[in-house]
Structure 1
Amino acid sequence: MIKLSKRLQTIADLVTDGSRIADIGSDHALLPVYLVQSGKSPSAVAGELPDGPFLAAKKQTAEAGLKSVIQVRQGDGLSVLNPGEVDTVTIAGMGGSLMADILEAGWRSGKLAGVTELVLQPNVGEDLVRRWLISKGFVLQGEMILEEDGRIYEVLHAWSASHLKLNHDNEWVYQTSILSVDMEDETKTEWLYRMGPYLLRQPSELLTKKWQFELGKLSRICQQLTLSEAEESRGKEAQYRAEMKQIKEVLACLPTVKPSSS
């Protein structure tokens, strides 16, 4: 059986057993091949747009002897799908803005009809993906954070609200009371989107590490801004320092977080 990276294995583990999947931006089709080989998915669609990854996906599928159950299709985003032919969509390895655009285009064109599960791994801009999910009635069921090759990744797992039989919904997921900080609810909600409501409920060293890195980046930006005499720079510096203050406050209220005193 094909061996996946830690990042792709995390995604694969979240896919529901027995679901027909579509992997968008599938690259070498490693994820669909693994899911079918392992018996977790009966069939799959691997979507790619550039010629190179598309041909690589076709080769991988053929070498695995799975051409009859994995369809490799060339096209932009969810355009490769027919409504109702898959249960789960996975998208990984791209920015959150692009991912949200792909999902929105698929939603508007009806390509997500019948899709009940989404497993998404944005490289950056995770908050944009969370906002898209809630705007379309998808409810986060969990979030994972992992580190591989020096990079920290978040994986979001969501179900369509219309197919849920659970006792919580988006209102529960984004409950601001989980943050015991002196902020307006609107500001708390913003940080739930940015940091992840499940990740904040069960904080980890990796979550701390990710946001300490962000603090360092913002600090360096502020240092650069102090060298500028432009009035606009003063405003930006104040904005970034306020953001840093809020990050530190959120980290400080989490039980396992020990923010730097610098």
Structure 2
Amino acid sequence: MLDERLNTVLSYVEGPTLLDIGSDHAYLPIQALKKNIIKKAICGEVVEGPYRSSKKNVAQYGYTNRVDVRLGDGLEVVEPTDQIDTISICGMGGPLIASILEKGLQTINQRPKIVVQANTYTYPIRKILQAFNYTILNEKVVKDKHHYYEIIVAELSDEQINYTEQELKFGPVFLKRRDELFIDMLRRELEHQQRIEAQMRLGSSLDNIKQIELKISELKEVIQHEG
């Protein structure tokens, strides 16, 4: 049922209760229940179509009494009596995930683990996690065909979290471990930025070129780092 991306997310989920935002047919909660990772789940959908699809899928698998599918915006679906152990948000851009966390985390009374899978631009996610004093436990890149997906796992810390700008941009765990897929992802991004730079030199302003040059320099620094 799950692809490698969501199976990786599943490996970080802890129960007994999962809150899955943007659930997309409720595949992740259903699989978590089948594997006895959780006892119950809440699925949040902001659009009517996916909401109905999730409810239908939950019913087909016989989990209507264990999965509560709710229609609402982000973490607004959480009720005061809910006890959430893990929040998962998958398949969205980094800025949208960050916005959902920023608007909703202050209303969550518990200390849930957070597992997110971003399609693009993870910097704002790390900024928000730091702002709410979440420490990043794990980071992993999953490649599907030509796409690279970043997964970030975090938990609330009792100590003040302060990441460097480089850690916020590239990931503290990624920078430490330097996994092969992470470096491959950066190399691909470097090639992309170099193509943009070449196009810009045909007619863009100096300021725009300098911004691209900075990105290229930062990418090269991480790729070429010898630790």
Show the 5 A alignment for 1:55-94. 55-83=52-80, 84-94=82-92
- The question of 1:119 aligning with 2:106 is answered no
Aligned-pair distance for 1:193? Answer: 1.1
Indicate which of 212, 223, 226 corresponds to 1:240.
Answer: 212
Q: Report deviation, 1:239.
A: 2.3
Shift of 1:85: 2.5
Structure 2 residue aligned with 1:220? 195
Secondary structure at 1:62 match in 2: helix
Partner of 1:9: 7
Q: Which has the higher contact order (CA 8 A, sep 6+)?
A: 2
| 2:13 equivalent to 1:37 | no
How far did 1:122 drift? 1.4
Q: TM-score scaled to structure 2, two decimals?
A: 0.94
CA contact (8 A) 2:133 2:160 kept: no
Name the residue aligned to 1:209.
Answer: 184
1:196 aligns with 2:168: no
- 1:118, 1:159 within 8 Å by CA — same for their partners in 2? yes
Contact 1:203 1:254 in 2 (8 A): no
Report the Cα offset of residue 254 of structure 1.
4.0
Deviation at 1:158, TM superposition (A): 0.7
- How much is the aligned-residue C-alpha RMSD, in angstroms? 1.6
Pair 146,254 (structure 1): closer, same or farther in 2 beyond 3 Å: farther
CA distance in 1, matches of 2:142, 2:47: 28
Number of corresponding residues: 226
Give the TM-score, by structure 1 length. Answer: 0.82
| Alignment partners' CA distance in 2, 1:67 and 1:78 | 21
The 4+ residue runs of structure 1 with deviation greater than 6 A are none
Match of 2:123, as an amino acid?
A: D
In structure 2, stretches of 5+ residues that fail to align are none
1:150 aligns with 2:150: no
- Which among 42, 47, 53 is matched to residue 44 of structure 2? 47
Cα distance, 1:249 vs structure 2: 1.8
Alpha-carbon shift at residue 169 of structure 1 (Å): 6.6
Native 8 Å contact 1:47 1:80 kept in 2: yes
Corresponding residue of 2:20: 23
Superimposed CA distance per residue, residues 110-138 of structure 1 (whole angstroms, 9 cap, x where no aligned partner): 1x221421001111121110110010011
What is the Cα deviation at residue 49 of structure 1?
1.4
Question: Matched residue of 1:47: which SS?
Answer: strand
Structure 2 SS opposite 1:140: strand
Distance in 1 (alpha carbons) for counterparts of 2:226 and 2:67? 44
Give, in angstroms, the shift of residue 145 of structure 1. Answer: 1.2
> Is the partner of 1:14 in helix, strand or coil?
coil
Alignment of 1:143-182 (within 5 A): 143-162=139-158, 170-171=161-162, 174=163
Kindly indicate whether the alpha-carbon contact (under 8 Å) linking 1:93 and 1:123 is maintained by their aligned counterparts in 2: yes
